[in-house]
Amino acid sequence: MKTGRIIKVAGPLVVAEGMEEANIYDMVKVGEKGLIGEIIEMRNDKASIQVYEETTGIGPGDPVITTGEPLSIELGPGLIEAMFDGIQRPLNALESASNSPFLKRGVSVKSLDREKVWTFNPTIKNGEHVEAGDIIGTVQETSVILHKIMVPYGIKGTIKEIKAGDFTIVDTVAIVETENGDKELTLMQKWPSRKGRPYSKKLKPESPMITGQRVIDTFFPVAKGGAASVPGPFGAGKTVVQHQIAKWGDTEIVVYVGCGERGNEMTDVLNEFPELKDPKTGESLMKRTVLIANTSNMPVAAREASIYTGITIAEYFRDMGYSVSIMADSTSRWAEALREMSGRLEEMPGDEGYPAYLGSRLADYYERAGKVVCLGSDGREGAVTAIGAVSPPGGDISEPVSQATLRIVKVFWGLDANLAYKRHFPSINWLNSYSLYEDSVDKWMNNEVSQDWSSLRIEAMTLLQEESALQEIVSLVGIDALSENDRLKLEISKSIREDYLQQNAFHETDTYTSLDKQYKMLKLILLFRKEAERALKAGVYLNKILNLDEIRDRIARSKYISENEINKIDKIEEDLKTTIDTLINEEGGVLNA
């Protein structure tokens, strides 16, 4: 292959000529050190290259060699528990290869460990016909994840030989006889990160990804295979929300992509994640997690690559039939990398300097979320649910990255600095957040949880919306101007906010609420409304009803009832009805008159 020559270096952007044999998105080696780069623009024989390592010392005349292949992700056992940088170089290995926590440039390391031996259990036999996506066997990758070894895309034929036993990821475990000759299969395959992995059929995301977080599951659910965005003004609780979803979300695999601005943000992530305990297994959450982090000493360009690296790994586990969640934090930092490269390419800037293709690049990420029928003859289903954090400067979501994101995703969890300041957590603002999966998830909930789920949810949300209008009246003319019914509404919405929406991530019981418990809790709060209205009608003064401290206190504390005792909530319901009966007997003007 011909070697090109550098004609210009501008930070992470290098332009080389004599590159007519190369293609856009080819991976290239830049300079004598062989720095890793990717071609992002081709004009005749000139290639513009995004370099993923520091380019100081590189200059005009230096060689550029194309590998003739796009930047590809290695997929196989060894992904789980790994920590990679934006272009899938293992962070630990980088440390030892360069003998310092700061990676030396041009250090070449393989993404997946070539030495480690895995036990492969074949699940098919000689003579069987296989196609892309068929599972030929499994590897117990960690104590909780069974890695399914699949026939790579493009291969179709008959199994000529398949072995059981201990292998590295580059050893041949099976031979497939195809029309084009024998193909050797290993435990590993590769996939170009900028291209979505194929599937048989895309399904409509309808069932929720249950998170155990009441405000999310009840009011703003994300469907499995859906996409959600969460803006995080500093200190609003973004990290806690993401940790809660990683821990409690009912997905088998978690992929976390950290595009932090400052190195220490990333160090926090790298330190915090392994500390998280998986509530389902009691083991470290890392046993089912892949971490991708851009460390501070890598140029911004690597951030740009990282979300594609992450989503490719997520799709690969989806293809095994798993439900996967991927979190990118933050897409704003990612977009800044895009803006910087666009500036260096001297492209026409769009809104606030972001390139005009900001929206389509964001869509390239989110649109790879989805629920699918996977390739392979068993018709298994898998899902990737994508969550992107946005960090709008000053928390103002009218800026381009937030706006472009909102046009793509169907769920918006608006974290609110004011709520966080008042210690209302999770600080998801119920008035500006939304979920466009509401209708399909409602149907699912009505079938799976209780048929009045959606009517309860709608009643509660209506109350919360009415509350904000009523509060405005109160602030103008005072609470006395309100009817007793409206004052009751204010009380009930306060109860929804404090007893239901507020959820303490650090409380042993409150940290997670099953759907059955969410249903019972919400029903109880709204039953208080019904019962209070009954008493009002019977002529009881509102104050008397609101002073029912004992029962109201039990309603408020129902969040602390443990999951295996949720029937205790039924007892509170019964007692609530009797309490109201008694009150009506004692105080009810209408009944006693």
In the bound complex, what is the minimum distance in angstroms from residue 506's beta carbon to ligand ADP?
5
Q: Shortest Cβ distance from residue 235 to ligand ADP (Å)?
A: 4
- 179 is an interface residue for ligand ADP by CB under 6 A: no
For residues 437-467, b (16+ Cβ closer than 10 Å) or e, as one string?
bbebbbebbeeebbeebbebbebbbebbeeb
Three-state secondary structure call for residue 110: coil
Using CB under 6 A, which of the segments 39-47, 189-197, 458-466, 497-505 binds ligand ADP? 497-505
Number of Cβ within a 10 Å radius of residue 227:
26
Does 212 sit near ligand ADP (CB under 6 A)?
no
406 vs 505 by CB, closer to ligand ADP: 505
Q: Which of 234, 421, 541, 560 binds ligand ADP (CB under 6 A)?
A: 234
> What minimum distance in Å lies between the beta carbon of 233 and ligand ADP?
7
Q: Is 235 annotated for ligand binding? A: yes
Is 232 marked within a binding site? yes
Q: Does 504 bind ligand ADP (CB under 6 A)?
A: yes
Is residue 500 classed as helix, strand or coil in its secondary structure? helix
Q: Is 227 helix (H, G, I), strand (E, B) or coil?
A: strand
CB of 304 to ligand ADP, least distance (A): 23
421 touches ligand ADP by CB under 6 A: no
232 binds ligand ADP (CB under 6 A): yes
Query: Is residue 248 within a helix (H) or strand (E), and if so which, with residue range?
Result: helix 238-248
| Residue number, 102 or 234, with CB nearest to ligand ADP | 234
500 lies in the site for ligand ADP, by CB under 6 A: no
Sign, CA torsion 306/308/83/211 = positive
Token output for 426: 């999770």
Q: Choose between 489 and 517: whose C-beta lies nearer to ligand ADP.
A: 517
Q: With binding defined as CB under 6 A, does residue 235 bind ligand ADP?
A: yes
Distance CA 73, CA 45 (A): 27
Q: Is 239 annotated as a binding residue?
A: yes
CB 208 within 8 A of CB 224: yes
| Longest pairwise C-alpha distance within the chain | 101
CA angle 426, 428, 429 (to 5 degrees): 140
Is residue 237 involved in binding ligand ADP (CB under 6 A)?
yes
Tell whether residue 426 is a contact of ligand ADP (CB under 6 A).
yes
Residue 104: DSSP 8-state = P
Question: Is residue 318 near ligand ADP by the rule CB under 6 A?
Answer: no
234 is in an annotated binding site: yes
Q: Identify the CA nearest to 241 among candidates 579, 557, 511, 518.
A: 511
* 109 CA to centre of own chain: 28
Tokens found for residue 447: 């079938």
Is 506 among the residues that bind ligand ADP (CB under 6 A)? yes
Q: Residue with structure tokens 């194929």?
A: 198
Residue 460 C-beta: closest distance to ligand ADP, Å: 19
Cβ-based nearer residue to ligand ADP, 162 or 420? 420
Contacting range for ligand ADP; rule: CB under 6 A; set: 107-115, 235-243, 259-267, 353-361: 235-243
The distance of closest approach from Cβ of residue 269 to ligand ADP in the complex, given in angstroms and rounded to an integer, is 11
In the complex, least distance from residue 292 CB atom to ligand ADP, rounded to whole angstroms: 18
Q: Provide the pairing of β-strand 4-10 with 289-293.
A: unpaired
Whole-angstrom Cα distance, residue 556 to residue 51?
A: 56
Size of the site for ligand ADP (CB under 6 A): 14
Residue 320, token pair as written in the block: 């095994």
User: Is residue 276 close enough to count as binding ligand ADP by CB under 6 A?
Assistant: no
> What is the C-alpha end-to-end distance of the chain, expressed in Å?
100
Would you say 260 is a known binding-site residue?
no
225 is in an annotated binding site: no
Q: Which range in 12-20, 142-150, 232-240, 362-370 contacts ligand ADP by CB under 6 A?
A: 232-240
Instruction: Decide if residue 214 touches ligand ADP (CB under 6 A).
Output: no
Q: What span, in angstroms and rounded, lies between the C-alpha atoms of 376 and 103?
A: 40
In the bound complex, what is the minimum distance in angstroms from residue 102's beta carbon to ligand ADP?
Answer: 26
**Edge-to-edge strands of the sheet including 118-122?**
146-150, 135-140, 118-122, 165-167
Contact between 285 and 247 (Cβ < 8 Å):
yes
- For ligand ADP, the closer CB: 375 or 420: 420
Residue list for the binding site for ATP: 232-239
Show binding-site residues.
232-239
Q: Which residues bind ligand ADP (CB under 6 A)?
A: 232, 234-240, 425-426, 503-506
